[in-house]
A and B are shown apart, each in its own frame.
Chain A
Amino acid sequence: MSNGMPRLDAMHLDVLREIGNIGAGNAASALSGLLGTRVDMKVTRVMSMPFNEIVDFAGGAETPVATVYTRFDGSIAGNILFVIGIDQAMALIRHVTGAVEDDGISEMGFSVLQETGNIVIGSCMTAMSDFLGFELLPSVPTLAVDMAGAILSFSLSEIGRSADEAIMIDAGITPEGASLSGGSGRLFLLPDPESFGRMFAALGVRIDG
């Protein structure tokens, strides 16, 4: 089996959790400003998981989700995804536009999801960039509404070059309007394996192996 992932101890996990909290916290407050509602943020988790478990964790391979995806490069590289369930996506659109989407998602609905994802991902990246002292170069965020497995496996393909598992930083971000249907929006941060060393070094934390 491949073994391209760094070995992390409890302190490393704490550091990653803190990076996640800073990114997701900023994303939640930006989203709150956009929507004019409270945005609930759940404690960030950091997990090292085989690819297939990540797909299960996200709700199952065939579960339809709306996802805004960005790849970032620069001093550190990786993928960031804002993932929400279809019911939550509908509730979010309804909250913003006042219109009920009963015949699939409309053009306007797609725009709402895209813009929400842009704000969440952009503000998360800005906060991480400030915290780490790195310039991060994000690609233009893009939206897809499809099976979670199809979206996640694509976003894991770069990591697949060096490992069969990924270290995932996961934060729940749910606007009040969208939380009515239960569940939470998720912000998944998936750094490339080679980037962990640089992230820790930037914060003065040592890593072996």
Chain B
Amino acid sequence: MIDPAEVGGVPQIGPPVVEVDDLEVNFKGRVGFIAGLMGRKGYDAKAVDGVSLTLHEGEVLALAGESGCGKTTTARAIMGLIVPEKGTIRFKGKVLPRAVGALRPYRRQVQMVFQDPTASLNPRQTIYEIVAEGLRIHNVNEGPNGEGEEQLVAQALSRAGLRPPERFYLLYPHELSGGQRQRVVIAGALVLDPSVIVADEPVSNLDASVRGEILALLMKFLEELRISILIVTHDLGLAWTVADRVAVMYLGRVVEIGPAEEVLQRPKHPYTKALLNVVPKAGGTERPILQGEPPDPTRIPAGCRFHPRCPVVATGRAERLGILGRCTGEDLALDQIAPGHDVACYLTELGEEP
């Protein structure tokens, strides 16, 4: 266990809120009817394959990676939306039950904000009904200070920046702009006074100019309400703006995790470096870009799962350093290289940079 006070030199980080241990999620492979009769079986997709993470109180943890790396699946498992094959998720020290009904009190504490606000909002409900729905589902008739339903909805809307709240009660989602819709989604999450918000690409569907405002809103809750945020994103620039710590995932595993300053400025895993290379920068496209498509989780390569695309292997550097055999043949786990900074790469044992 890492002392949270040491992590990234951010002293305000509190005790663990969500602890994920060795999480595994498989999606069953399917085959056609005839192939099934012939006894053929589909390949299972190992979307998440042994992920351990800790989210501390008052912390923003960014989960980054390409499409299909398992970042959203991890987030959904944490929400209790997917039952994992293996592994445990603890919330404030208690192991999550597997029965869906028993998850209800937990779901009140952990709220989710999805990518597309238009898809998350029921087009036939008014804004008031949308925000109040959570309260009704969880039978919350009274707030912590004796507030009624309307007061709680008004509070959540104005916290989410929709002021004056009364003006929005009777509007429908289509009458709002994209940014306002995402604020309604956030208000719906806030109304239940959660301790964790899981945000899956919360701004990638919004106009660039509106993104900052929505992020600033989330950052404000962090300070005012002492909540924790797990943010799932493919955008490392976003991680730089909001995250305390960054976890980079590849093919169902975390390959590097640590303080944002370290991971994003001094990456130790070749994959993290490759991801940073493709963040658009002024001055042309002349920099190394990883070839190939996002990998297939039904066919996980032996050894380090990144080795077929790894530039260190492709350039022959791994061979010169004498680690090629292990890269291609020996699976490896995360290894601590500094307090709070873990990397899964054979280069780090040699003290080499990617």
Determine if chain A interacts with chain B: no
Q: Chain B residues in contact with chain A, CB under 8 A?
A: none
Q: Chain A residues in contact with chain B, CB under 8 A?
A: none
